[in-house]
Structure 1
Amino acid sequence: MELPRITFIQKIKQFSSYRIGYVLVIAAAALAGLIHSISKPLLEYSNINTVAISPVTLAAVIFIVNGLFFTPLQKNTDSISKIGRKNLLLLALIGIAEASAVITYFFGLKESTAVNASILTNGEILFSILVAITIFRERLQKKELPPFTMIILGIVLLPVGFDLYHNGMIITDLVYGNLLILLSGAFYALDINLCKYVSNKMNAKTITQLASFVAGGFALCLIFVFQIPFEISISHLPSIAIIGIFGTGISTFFFIIALRLIGAVRTILLYSTTSVFGVIFAGIILQESITLAHVFSIILVSIGLYALRNRLGSDEKIIHYFKGNVKDALP
């Protein structure tokens, strides 16, 4: 009688872990979805926001805040001297790639809409698959071509094509902003692949903390070289804190824990709801219009990701990076 009782208790614990994992990944997606709607008002003039923050300045502050957030979690970790020059160089490249991605994204968001940004940021997934195909010589199977095409249609052709058609096939500031957001996805894909490479050398906290400080330092260098105004008012600080701590730091933290609790496939699929949350927040917070084209884009991307779930979730390098280091990521 004791063995069935133990099995029953284990099943209850497993169910509780799954439930916690589902809650955490949905929370991570919701927090990440806030970034678009919270960032855009900071980048443009309005009756409330009398000072528009430069995208480079905003990126610098967010990265520094994120690095400081992860600093207290760096207990019992190796010192920088033990990391090695090669890994430090790779961390520097990761930081520069992250800074380039965020700065490009903010410049694009300034010209585009938060609704478009919520959809176009899925370009990171598209470029990651393209990197795997071109660099790692992976091939898409025949059954994977239709969903991959759906992802391209949902992320690129439908949002950008709709805006081009709506503006008479002229590259307006809106279309230009959309293209910059897509470009930021390419930088994010480079960042992910570099993180995969160094993941077996150090834990996730070290990568996040040091890369954030490098990215912040790189952005500060751009501010100094190009003499970009460093204009931030006290009223901006709550929004910046939400973006840096909640939208980036805690969101990533929840994502890492969810990977361990419910696995890569479920986590990646549920985290893709970031687009849905982003569109909803843009409609509620910024009162932006949501068209049928936006809804159709999200549906296409969601179906495509679901069909490619095994490819995305079974990537051994992704699982090694997140699940292999999640124990060290916990405080």
Structure 2
Amino acid sequence: MSEPHSHSHLWPGVPLALGSAALFGATPPLSKLLLEGVNPFMLAGLLYLGAGLGLALYRLLRGRQAAAGEAQLTAGDIPWLALAIGMGGVIAPVLLMFGLTLNTASSSALLLNLEGLATMAIAWLVYRENVDRRLLLGAFAILAGAVLLSWQGEGIAFNRGALLVAGACVAWGIDNNFTRRISATDPVVIAMLKGLVAGVVNVGLALAGGASFPPASVVAVIAAVGFFGIGVSLVMFIVALRHLGTARTGAYYSLAPFIGALLAIAILGDAVTLKLAVAGLLMGAGLWLHLSERHEHEHDHEELEHEHSHVHDEHHQHQHDGPVSEPHSHWHRHAPMRHRHPHYPDLHHRHGHG
């Protein structure tokens, strides 16, 4: 058996979540440009098809040995995957595309912070995931920034574009919590299936509604944006779910709208207004509160048996008959133990708190 691995509790979950946010954050302003000549349903479908087909090609090229390091989907995972695809792959992107046609790219990008709030609220209230005071304060700061973006001079007026973007965020928040249920399985397969199914559905709806395919060169650009901004981003997000839990992955993911807003200003020429600047500061303060959290206490691990990709760290002390490569995946047993270290509600730390 190999030696236990020792690393920061921030690794690799936080970098993965932030990297996922950066890739997805670039998608709204780029989509805003593409919407000038493409039907919203068609654009949503082609983005997800680009993600699905790109990941299918990657899965083919990476070979069986790399795939063997990940647990595979089982029959019990299919209902959760189907629900995640419906909410996050079909409903949410269409709402976002139509919202972008009625709202500026920079405001829409910052409003996407609501996805992290929706994800955290569902994880906390429905799935009872631990959320401390610092995370709640950060959430309120982000919410204040989102409300400020919708201030229309005489009061708060959520225009149709903002409401559609908010609806997309709620749908993605539900999707993220469903995806957490299957996050121990191969993230490339999950993201690939999401992309292929959602892409086919939305392209089909677009064609049924009278839309036509854009030129091949535009399709290629859309596919590239979809592969990186949705496909690669989603793979990183799913792996982050394993290590951080749903609420905290959603919180770190709040970086995405800042990336999108900056790109919208740089690429589309959106104005840098005082309202936008103050909203960005509020959301930045909320993100800092999330990033500076440290959760540590003595806790018990009950006996547990499951399968997922792992290395031989302090939580995986088991024998193999012969040499193995790491990471690897197989069914394994965790003996009961009690210890103290910084941790997040990952696959091995989903315990209650008093």
Q: Measure, in 1, the Cα distance between the counterparts of 2:98 and 2:295.
A: 31
Q: Measure, in 2, the Cα distance between the counterparts of 1:323 and 1:299.
A: 38
Is the 2:25–2:229 contact (alpha carbons within 8 Å) kept by the matching residues of 1?
yes
**2:26 alignment partner in structure 1:** 34
Q: Measure, in 1, the Cα distance between the counterparts of 2:255 and 2:41.
A: 28
Q: Measure, in 2, the Cα distance between the counterparts of 1:322 and 1:296.
A: 43
Change over 3 Å in CA distance of 1:322–1:170 after alignment to 2 = farther
Within-5 A mapping of 1:279-318: 279-309=261-291
Pairwise CA RMSD of aligned residues?
Answer: 4.0
Residue number among 100, 108, 133 corresponding to 2:99 in the alignment:
108
Residues 1:193 and 2:181 aligned together: no
Residues 1:215 and 2:206 aligned together: no
Change over 3 Å in CA distance of 1:258–1:126 after alignment to 2 = closer
Q: Measure, in 2, the Cα distance between the counterparts of 1:100 and 1:195.
A: 15
Q: Measure, in 1, the Cα distance between the counterparts of 2:104 and 2:268.
A: 9
Is the 1:279–1:290 contact (alpha carbons within 8 Å) kept by the matching residues of 2?
no
Is the 2:51–2:232 contact (alpha carbons within 8 Å) kept by the matching residues of 1?
no
Cα distance per residue 1:92-150 (max 9 Å; x no partner): 22211122111111110111111012101111111012112331245755565433321
State the AA in 2 paired with 1:176.
Answer: R
Is the 1:60–1:219 contact (alpha carbons within 8 Å) kept by the matching residues of 2?
yes
Is the 2:105–2:261 contact (alpha carbons within 8 Å) kept by the matching residues of 1?
yes
State the AA in 2 paired with 1:211.
Answer: K
Within-5 A mapping of 1:83-98: 83-98=73-88
**1:203 alignment partner in structure 2:** 186
TM-score under structure 1 length normalisation: 0.72
Alpha-carbon offset, residue 215 of structure 1: 1.0
Alpha-carbon offset, residue 253 of structure 1: 4.8
**1:317 alignment partner in structure 2:** none
Alignment length, in residue pairs? Answer: 289
Cα distance per residue 1:231-271 (max 9 Å; x no partner): 312342343033212222334456678899xx759987775
Is the 2:95–2:167 contact (alpha carbons within 8 Å) kept by the matching residues of 1?
yes
> What is the DSSP-based 3-state SS (H/G/I as helix, E as strand, rest coil) of the residue aligned with 2:57?
coil
Q: Measure, in 2, the Cα distance between the counterparts of 1:321 and 1:189.
A: 25
Which structure dedicates a bigger proportion of its chain to strand? 2
Change over 3 Å in CA distance of 1:182–1:327 after alignment to 2 = farther
Change over 3 Å in CA distance of 1:321–1:283 after alignment to 2 = farther
Which structure dedicates a bigger proportion of its chain to helix? 1
Over the matched positions of the two proteins, sequence identity in percent amounts to 26
> What is the DSSP-based 3-state SS (H/G/I as helix, E as strand, rest coil) of the residue aligned with 1:71?
helix
Is the 2:187–2:235 contact (alpha carbons within 8 Å) kept by the matching residues of 1?
no
Residue number among 153, 163, 169 corresponding to 1:165 in the alignment:
153
Is the 2:26–2:229 contact (alpha carbons within 8 Å) kept by the matching residues of 1?
yes
Flag structure 1 segments of 5+ consecutive residues without an equivalent: 1-9, 45-51, 315-319
State the AA in 1 paired with 2:149.
Answer: P
State the AA in 1 paired with 2:195.
Answer: S
> What is the DSSP-based 3-state SS (H/G/I as helix, E as strand, rest coil) of the residue aligned with 2:272?
coil
**1:7 alignment partner in structure 2:** none
Flag structure 2 segments of 5+ consecutive residues without an equivalent: 297-305, 312-325, 330-354
Change over 3 Å in CA distance of 1:322–1:294 after alignment to 2 = farther
Is the 2:84–2:175 contact (alpha carbons within 8 Å) kept by the matching residues of 1?
yes
Change over 3 Å in CA distance of 1:321–1:276 after alignment to 2 = farther
Alpha-carbon offset, residue 86 of structure 1: 3.7
> What is the DSSP-based 3-state SS (H/G/I as helix, E as strand, rest coil) of the residue aligned with 1:67?
helix
Alpha-carbon offset, residue 305 of structure 1: 2.7
Alpha-carbon offset, residue 284 of structure 1: 1.4
Q: Measure, in 1, the Cα distance between the counterparts of 2:196 and 2:173.
A: 20
Cα distance per residue 1:216-238 (max 9 Å; x no partner): 132134335x5241231234234
Alpha-carbon offset, residue 213 of structure 1: 1.3
